[in-house]
A and B are shown apart, each in its own frame.
Chain A
Amino acid sequence: MTGEDAVRLRPPRNAVDERAVAWWRSRLLAATAVPVVVLAVLGAFLGPARTWLLLAAGAVAALGLVCTAFLPAWWFRVHRWEVTDEAVYTRTGALRQEWRIAPMSRIQTVDTVRGPLEQAFGLATVTVTTASSKGAIRIGGLDHEHAAELAERLTALTRATPGDAT
């Protein structure tokens, strides 16, 4: 291996909040429960197709439960974020991982969003958008007070950094 080949992206410094694992778990459970319930109810009423519908429901439930058991822990290991004076840097994904970098001078908006599930776990998502239609960065699963602080800090930093954002 040459020196150039060994260069790699270092992981961002901060992990997301530990409660994020539970949040992801409940989200996956909810996403599994909806189709399973629909299939099961249909199976209960439609006599002729009962076996197949219940089989499908079972398969979906098994897949969902496996995902619920393993994915959130994996996500927690991968999902990391970092904000420096120059840029926002995140890593997400599991099988397919993604690193995103946006410089402070190009940031246009900083939003904090809290869905109902996130509120239940005391979490929030910070979304940072740039002028690119494909350049938005989301940092999910942050403690909501921490997220508000972060959003404030980002706004202050963006204001202090000159740039026309395009």
Chain B
Amino acid sequence: MSEEWRRLDPRTLLADAVVLCGVAGGAALPAVAGLSGGGSLGRAFAWVLSGVVLLVLLGTVGDWVRLRRTRYRVGPERVDLHTGLLLLKRRSLARERVRSVDLTANPLQRVLGVVKVRIGTGENTPGGESTLEFDLVARAEGERLRRELLGRAAVAGEPDRDGVLASLDPHWIRYAPVSFLAPALGAAAAGAVLQVSDWFGAQAEVVDWVGDRFRDTSLTWTVVDLVLLATVAGAVGALGLWVEMWWNYRLEREPGGTLRVRRGLFTARSVTLEERRLRGIELVEPLGVRLFGAARVDAVATGLAEHDEDKHGDLKNLLPAAPRERAEEVVALVLREPEPPTAAPLAAHPRAARVRRLRWAAWGVLVPVAVLAVLGPLLTPVLLYVAAGCALVLGPVAVLLALDAYRALGHGVSGGFLVARSGTVRRTTVALQRSGVIGWTVRQSYFQRRAGLLTLTATTAAGAGAYAVRDAGEGQGLVFAAEAVPGLLAPFLETPEARPTEG
């Protein structure tokens, strides 16, 4: 047990200085361009260079002070972190409350052999006060912290299936371009081209240039071509991002009951999760990925704070989109179940739920079409054609989605797990530990009351905090809830025999 105070790694200075140089250099280029407009290039360059040097020097000195004033200690019971020059911050975490230790290193930090360590307690307090961040320590030291803080004595008598649960199959990359990320990236690329050209005041030229390229084509084909171009760009971007995020991916179980996900090409990241915190698992099938028979696996765990500032922040992601059978294997391995609960047969919901979805689809199409049809005669007849087109195209799509949404609905109990599935654009199957359910919320809207349906929500300390069984039959849902978590709902149910009116 190390009890002495330790400092951050001095290589932090170098890492931060290089980043600062990059930032200052990036800002310097336009500044040189701007200043040289009036006078000589040499003088502008000298001014900007001295500014950059000053900035980097000041930043490094500041960083050095931070380094000198920061120290940490891993004691037998607490982890302490003291930091700050004027505003002294002394933070201390009880070691028994440490639930996760994440190591991150960007490419530069990897070259220098340092990592950023984030120690979490598993509480979602606002403001991130429950995490300690060691920015940066040597890689070996990071590994040591991780092992020491999470390497509790393995529970005796528990069969530990250690080792690799899943590792990357390069074939999975085929699911990257069909994710929702691809169109988003395509749109972002188009937006970026326009934005950057706007900075240089050349947006009009870019638009003209594109117009010139398509001089001989009709408007429709121009639009189709541009959309195709953006789609291809998006797909390429999605492939690149996938490689960056999932390279070297491994999901392992370590002695002492922790799961560890390692991944990343440039930015290596390692997420460690105590199995004690795991309350279940979520099998997520976004529409595009589902059409190709794939699914991804997310953990439902307490205290997995979403790090908003981190772009790679999907900490709960245990497996990227992979063939469904493989995903279910991983579910079974992670949960230590012989059969994956997410593959269990589920009870279907009443037909009234299907009627409801079809009605939503009808309204969703009819309202915009009606608005267009009313405005058409008033403004321009083109709107009438648009309305007809909308009805013809959107109508069948909406009906298909509604039917698919109904097919997705289901709930059931599989061993120690409660399973619920819903969604069409993003279908999720959640398997929640029955002992992890800490309350029920039953909701019934006026329309659900008329249709004899209700939405049952199991609240839990983990993940999203609540998982819903949508539009189950009234009796069906309540009986299911009472059976899934014995003793909780049953005292508040009444059966026909107990009801005086139906004696």
Contacts and interface: CB of A to CB of B under 8 A. Distances in A.
A132 B466 contact: yes
A77 interface: no
Given A131-B302, A133-B124, A101 B492 contact: yes
B475 A8 contact: yes
Given A8-B478, A132-B465, A98 B494 contact: no
Interface in B467-503: 473-476, 478-479, 487-489, 491-496, 502
B48 interface: no
A98 B441 CA distance: 7
B493 A7 contact: yes
Interface in B430-455: 436, 438-446, 449, 452
B121 interface: no
Given A8-B475, A131-B302, A166-B302, A106 B439 contact: yes
Contacts of B446: 95-96
A106 B443 contact: no
A3 B495 contact: yes
B429 interface: no
B443 to A, nearest CB: 5
Given A4-B479, A7-B475, A134-B466, A100 B440 contact: yes
A95 B446 CA distance: 5
B459 interface: yes
A7 B489 CA distance: 12
User: Which interface residue of A10, A12, A166 has the most chain B CB atoms within 10 A?
Assistant: A166
Contact of A97 (B436, B443, B479): B443
A12 B494 CA distance: 11
A98 B443 contact: yes
Contacts of B493: 7-10
Interface string B410-445: 000000000000000000000000001011111111
Interface stretch (A20-28, A82-90, A110-118): A82-90
Nearest to A6: B496
Contacts of A87: 488, 491-492
A8 B476 CA distance: 10
A103 interface: yes
Question: Chain B interface mostly helix, strand, loop or mixed?
Answer: mixed
A84 to B, nearest CB: 7
A135 B439 contact: yes
Given A9-B478, A86-B487, A133-B124, A3 B492 contact: no
Interface in A136-154: 137
B494 A7 contact: yes
A103 B487 CA distance: 9
B495 A9 contact: no
A132 B476 contact: no
Contacts of B502: 6
Nearest to A99: B442
Contacts of B464: 133-134
Contact of A9 (B124, B302, B442, B460): B442
A130 interface: yes
A132 B460 contact: yes
Contacts of A99: 440-443, 492
Contacts of B439: 100-103, 106, 130, 132, 135, 137
A7 B445 CA distance: 18
A82 B465 CA distance: 24
B461 interface: yes
B491 A8 contact: no
A122 B470 CA distance: 39
Contact of A7 (B438, B465, B495): B495
B478 A96 contact: no
B492 A7 contact: no
Contacts of B478: 7-9
Contact of A100 (B124, B441, B491, B494): B441
A130 B459 contact: yes
Contacts of B436: 166
Given A9-B442, A96-B446, A101-B440, A132 B492 contact: no
Interface string A57-90: 0000000000000000000000000101011010
Nearest to B495: A7
A148 B309 CA distance: 42
Given A96-B443, A130-B439, A134-B466, A5 B492 contact: no
A96 B445 contact: yes
B476 A5 contact: yes
A132 B487 contact: no
Interface in B261-309: 302
B465 A133 contact: yes
A6 B475 contact: yes
Nearest to A164: B461
A166 B461 contact: yes
A89 B452 CA distance: 22
Nearest to A163: B438
A95 B464 CA distance: 26
7 contacts: A6-B495, A8-B494, A96-B444, A99-B492, A132-B459, A134-B464, A134-B465
Interface of B: 124, 302, 436, 438-446, 449, 452, 457, 459-461, 464-466, 473-476, 478-479, 487-489, 491-496, 502
A-B pairs with lowest CB-CB distance, top 3: A135-B459, A131-B461, A133-B465
Given A9-B493, A102-B439, A137-B439, 5 more contacts: A6-B496, A7-B474, A9-B442, A131-B438, A135-B465
